[in-house]
Amino acid sequence: MGIRKDTKMDFNKAYTDYRPLLHSIAYRMLGSFSEAEDLVQDVFADYSQLTDATIHNEKAYLVKMVTNRSINLSQSARKRREVYVGEWLPEPDMSHAMLDPAELFAQHESISYALLVMLEKLSAVERAVFILRESLAFDYDEIAACLQKSEANCRKIFSRAKERLHKERQLLPDNMDQAQPLVETFIEAAVSGDFNKLIAMLTEEAMLVSDGGGKVRAAINAIISRARVIAFLQGVIPKTFLGDGHLFAVVNGQAGIIITLDGKPRSVISFQINAEGNQIERIFVMLNPDKLKHIQID
């Protein structure tokens, strides 16, 4: 991972080849598209200053830069979130938005929104190791070089991270192909006002988490239990919850909903499905307009 001063590197090629990977790492670490974009741009700005050098392993060098900067930034972000109004949720990844439902579950590049929320339970280093290993399939020697730790230490960190996630909730199943009918039932209930069918599709311990960031009205605390979630939805849906339209979309690679108002996204709703794939365990509602700016609706 050292620098050799012998051949001029091709900066444009490195930017084209590795920017998507670096952005995915930064986003998964930070839960923010804008912060991830700024961080990656800063990394490439510094990288471009090495005009007289060639990197022995460009990919490893850039991954190391973006991962360590993401760790530092995520640690400071946690302090900022201590004064955040209400529940904090990551920005939804809509890079596969508006795919045809038939194509939806062929997408495996994204990390599910529910898992992204769960990763907030980890320390910054645990999160980095988990993302590089579980989500991006890096080898332990690559992770060790990136974080300047031993392979054995990285294995222990990964094992500890998985154990912590299992304690919070069983890790999400890989096949989410049964999510679409659950999402459709949710929106049908919202539109019609008849929640009878939806009640059976929520687990007894279902939870709804909404993030308004103090910008718009949202539940300050998570709504817990099937009965309370249904009561909450019945209370808010007749008002402005549904905006003036909705679109089925892909949120972090899985079925979700965009609620629109005046042609712009008013909220994004995503779901965590249980291991059996037949009930909704979590409903995540992103309302903070600052976290919806990156979403484009054609």
Q: Tens digits of per-residue pLDDT, 54-75?
A: 667 889 999 999 999 999 999 8
- Per-residue confidence (pLDDT) for residue 52, from 0 to 100: 54
The helix-helix angle for 58-81 and 140-147 (nearest 10°) equals: 60
Least confidently predicted of 57-71, 86-100, 164-178, 275-289: 164-178
Give me Rg for the CA atoms of the chain.
20
- pLDDT bin (cut points 50, 70, 90) of residue 53 is low
Residue 49 has pLDDT above 60, yes or no: yes
Residue 3 has pLDDT above 50, yes or no: no
DSSP 8-state class, residue 134: I
Residue 106 has pLDDT above 50, yes or no: no
Q: Which CATH code is given to the segment(s) 179-291?
A: 3.10.450.50
Question: How confident is the model over 132-162, as pLDDT tens digits?
Answer: 998 899 999 999 999 999 999 999 999 999 9
The CA-based angle 118-124-130, given to 5 degrees, is 60
Residue 273's CB: how many other CB atoms inside 10 A? 25
Looking at per-residue pLDDT, the higher value among 76 and 177 belongs to 76
For the chain, give the number of residues: 298
- Per-residue confidence (pLDDT) for residue 104, from 0 to 100: 39
Tell me if 3-88+118-168 shares its fold with 179-291: no
Q: What is the mean pLDDT of residues 190-194?
A: 86
Question: How confident is the model over 202-249, as pLDDT tens digits?
Answer: 999 999 999 999 999 899 999 999 999 999 998 887 777 888 889 988
Helix (H) or strand (E) holding 225: none
DSSP, collapsed to helix, strand or coil, labels residue 264 as strand
CA distances from 6 to 3, 192, 219 (A): 9, 68, 58
Question: How confident is the model over 34-47, as pLDDT tens digits?
Answer: 899 999 999 999 98
Task: Give the residue extent of every domain in the chain.
Answer: 3-88+118-168, 179-291
- Per-residue confidence (pLDDT) for residue 100, from 0 to 100: 45
Q: What is the rounded CA–CA span in Å between residue 164 and residue 175? A: 22
DSSP, collapsed to helix, strand or coil, labels residue 260 as strand
Summary mean pLDDT of the chain: 85
Comparing CA positions, the residue from 120, 130, 125, 126 lying closest to residue 87 is 120
Q: Which CATH code is given to the segment(s) 3-88+118-168?
A: 1.20.140.160
